[in-house]
Amino acid sequence: MKQNGFIVYKLPKLSILLRILGFDVYYIPKGNYHSVIGLAKKENKILISRLKLLRKIPWILYLSSDNIDEQLKEIISKLNLLIPQDNLFTRCSACNSWLEGISEEEVKMEIPYSVRGKGYWFKKCKECGKIFWNGNHLITLKKKFDYLNITYINDNNEKNR
């Protein structure tokens, strides 16, 4: 199975966090689990679920916890994931498409007045048009990832926290 590709079944917050970490995540909010299994096989992606009847299938990652932080820790631990630091904030948390760096000038009419002129970086989703910047939420997320002991690797494959 492709390590950086996931299908997340009925776990919306988890799919957002995995996308923020830079993983390719196809989120399925509802539907027949048979079709979800078929899609995971077809796309050669790891299926992540809390659906108990799927826990016996070896290539499906069944999460034992309801807690989002514990789920993320479980995924990273079970799959021995290292997160390339350059992958952080490269995917749209809403639609999973790639984000593109963009200047503040290009998006100034689309962002809140309160974030203008603060020296933030900006990224825009190529698909849905959502705009992201490194405000306070970025600090909160990085603290969460540090708390969870998520290990990043840099360009030289050196581990960081």
User: 36: pLDDT confidence band, cut at 50, 70 and 90?
Assistant: very high
pLDDT for res 152 = 76
Residue ranges and CATH numbers for the domains of the chain are: 2-81 (3.40.50.2300), 87-160 (no CATH)
Instruction: Give per-residue pLDDT as tens, 2-27.
Output: 455 999 999 999 999 999 999 999 99
pLDDT for res 18 = 95
Instruction: Select the more confidently predicted residue: 9 or 31.
Output: 9
pLDDT for res 45 = 93
DSSP string of the chain, one letter each residue: -EEEEEEEES-HHHHHHHHHTT-EEEEE-SS-HHHHHHHHHHHTEEEEE--GGGTTSTTEEE---S-HHHHHHHHHHHHT--EEGGGTT-B-TTT-PBEEEE-HHHHTTTS-GGGTTS---EEEETTT--EEE-SHHHHHHHHHHHHTT--EE-TT--EE-
Instruction: Select the more confidently predicted residue: 148 or 116.
Output: 116
Instruction: Give per-residue pLDDT as tens, 107-129.
Output: 999 999 999 999 999 999 999 99
